[in-house]
Chain A
């Protein structure tokens, strides 16, 4: 009885939250915004080095956001592999011997790799880009792992850690290189903007795929114990 009442109270609270929010959205939608950012954006598109506005925002105008966002992804990856305590990340129980999956995999893996490459390339002028390509690449890895393809680079060694931070490192080096040239942090030299963005996108794709794959693989299953401080 009490639980029902509590549930009802909680439902009422959440419904009224939605209601107030919707009302506020409705009110705001009725008024024009004072700053016209899309127009400002289109005026500066020529200087951004790419044709697609979303990619321009992500990798040029607001590239600091993207740099920190990749940092967040790397943190998740680090925290994830810090949970895995075994020397090997192989988990035989996770492997499937399903012959259908085997058959599919032979068709899907090359197709998905190609799709990832296409998404990366398409990012310059239409929807697509590093994250989408990285996600597809990671999905390919997941499929391969489920099919039991050995992937030694996923052991928590130096190679895995290098792969995790490769994209982040390149991005960071480009960011600081502009300072040595006397410019602001993250400012690309105008004549190199396009190739730099392309390089950053490509290495980011690899690293994003690596982080996602590492997080999938490192979900831990062993019994390592670490005494809490002062508990003995």
Chain B
């Protein structure tokens, strides 16, 4: 059964990319609905299978690592596969209504969307360093293609900047991979970890980890390497922005986190861990501050992503040379942060898209009076904001609560200040949008009403982000499942 599920998971997005390329936009939409159903069912099935039987290694082509490529199917990976299925299908449904089907170049939206999805799955499951590189490039190029779709000068400018940053990040990562292969003779992460367990750390291996993490940090837009992100996420069509902010930046972070958790202890050092944490904190403060000062609605949301990404990098100091229980808490907190931010930010971008559709402008001031006309989308935006501000009972709160405990448990109290400041600043930028929308202005009374289905989708995502706080125990229990060691190298 798991064999079929795995094949379905790998095959569907690639096959649907081909199918939708051969149709026009309207037909592609219908075909995509079918694909979404298949993909959600397969992801759910795999999640259930893993939560019942535990994780396993899946050798592609029947070859085991280190000769072949092995996928690591564990609780964390299937949780992210399921998260991707939820967020991507929401964006897919939204895009089907939101995007203008009459523009001939929009037919290329669906194939790029499906390629992006397949790249994400490849990264969540990847256990081979080089295969992860190919997966990352699959994601980057399709994301750049989606941003550039339409081909206006400003969009091209943003996507070129994005492309160059992504390529530089990939090269740095690949250089690290080259050093690892030269040193250990294998590309399988599990193989390297297995060898390091009972051998001393060989000289000269720290640079490889540093290069890989730096490259991935650039692709995740960690401060001060974040400058490519706001233009790209701000200028893309709203469903694309939602995909990019919710999932794409998480993919490179996920690899960096996996590498750090597996190899950080032997190859890393304390100063590097604290430095990454410090940069993350700077991102939280600076990103939130800039979000507060933006005049374009989507730029506010994009800078908020820069800030929320900052929290993720607290993983590095909170898991380096601390006790097992603190490290576990930090990992769980970061996982919840990834999931809740993905849901909340997708909801926020989709709701922002509806607001823009309604007012016909991307400016925050243009929202004046919109609260009387579009309360539903505005409410979704606010609910998502609650999770970003990390108020209880949202998923954002559960995440920061765990991080708080981990900071205090490891005696690194200074990260608590970051968590508090970040929460206050995010409250400020969410309320700023609210304030603008509740102002009354007699001049503008003409608002376009987007269709009901456009408004329901962000609401569902926002409610999930809030509800995550209440089911966090169940979500985390799958992540911590014992890993079946059969088939490991």
Contacts and interface: CB of A to CB of B under 8 A. Distances in A.
Interface of A: 20-21, 23-25, 27-29, 31, 33-37, 40-41, 44, 60-65, 67-69, 71-72, 74-76, 78-79, 81-83, 85, 158, 161-162, 164-165, 168-169, 172, 175-176, 179, 182-188, 220, 224-232
B66 A229 contact: no
A224 B150 CA distance: 9
A79 B18 contact: no
B60 A28 contact: no
Contacts of A37: 66-67, 185-186
Given A25-B179, A68-B138, A79-B112, A184 B60 contact: yes
Given A27-B204, A28-B204, A78 B186 contact: no
A211 to B, nearest CB: 12
A69 B134 contact: yes
A21 B356 contact: no
A28 B195 contact: no
Interface in B89-127: 103-105, 108, 111-112, 115, 118-119, 122
A228 B131 contact: no
Nearest to B22: A161
A229 B7 contact: no
B186 A172 contact: no
Interface of B: 3-4, 6-7, 10-11, 14-15, 17-18, 21-22, 58-63, 66-69, 103-105, 108, 111-112, 115, 118-119, 122, 130-131, 134-135, 137-138, 141-142, 144-145, 148-152, 154-155, 175, 179, 182-186, 191, 195, 199, 202-205, 207-208, 235, 237-238, 297-298, 353, 356-357, 359-363
A34 B193 CA distance: 12
Given A81-B108, A179-B4, A33 B182 contact: yes
A21 B207 contact: yes
17 contacts: A20-B207, A28-B179, A33-B184, A60-B61, A62-B69, A71-B14, A78-B21, A78-B111, A82-B105, A165-B18, A179-B3, A184-B61, A185-B60, A186-B62, A226-B150, A230-B356, A230-B361
B62 A229 contact: no
B112 A25 contact: no
Contact of B141 (A23, A67, A72, A228): A72
A99 B103 CA distance: 41
Contacts of B203: 27, 31
A203 to B, nearest CB: 13
Most buried by B among A20, A82, A182, A228: A82
A69 B141 CA distance: 11
B22 A185 contact: no
A164 to B, nearest CB: 7
Most buried by B among A62, A63, A225: A62
A75 B400 CA distance: 38
A180 B388 CA distance: 45
Contact of B184 (A27, A35, A61, A182): A35
Contacts of B142: 75, 79
A24 B179 contact: yes
Given A28-B182, A37-B67, A68-B122, A187 B61 contact: yes
B179 A228 contact: no
A122 to B, nearest CB: 24
Contacts of A176: 7, 11, 15
Contacts of B3: 179, 182, 184
A71 B139 CA distance: 10
A63 B361 contact: no
A40 B66 contact: yes
B18 A172 contact: yes
A-B pairs, top 4 by smallest CB distance, nearest first, are A33-B185, A79-B145, A27-B204, A230-B362
A14 B449 CA distance: 54
B62 A184 contact: yes
Given A79-B144, A179-B11, 5 more contacts: A35-B195, A79-B112, A83-B105, A85-B105, A228-B152
Contacts of B191: 35
A63 B138 contact: no
A79 B235 contact: no
Given A61-B61, A82-B105, A185-B7, A35 B362 contact: no
A37 B182 CA distance: 11
Contacts of A172: 11, 14-15, 18
A68 B131 contact: yes
B61 A64 contact: yes
B111 A65 contact: no
Contact of B362 (A60, A79, A85, A229): A229
A78 to B, nearest CB: 5
Given A25-B179, A27-B204, A184-B58, A61 B138 contact: no
Contacts of B199: 34
A200 to B, nearest CB: 13
Nearest to B205: A28
A61 B68 contact: yes
A184 B360 CA distance: 51
Nearest to A185: B7
Contacts of B6: 185
Contacts of A63: 60-61
A41 to B, nearest CB: 6
Contacts of A228: 150, 152, 154-155, 235
A64 B183 contact: no
A4 to B, nearest CB: 24
B147 to A, nearest CB: 10
Contacts of A31: 183, 202-203
B191 to A, nearest CB: 7
Contacts of B21: 78, 161, 164-165
Contacts of A40: 66-67
Nearest to A168: B18
A131 B223 CA distance: 39
Contacts of A188: 61
A85 B107 CA distance: 12
Most buried by A among B3, B68, B357: B68
B434 to A, nearest CB: 19
A33 B181 CA distance: 8
B138 A72 contact: yes
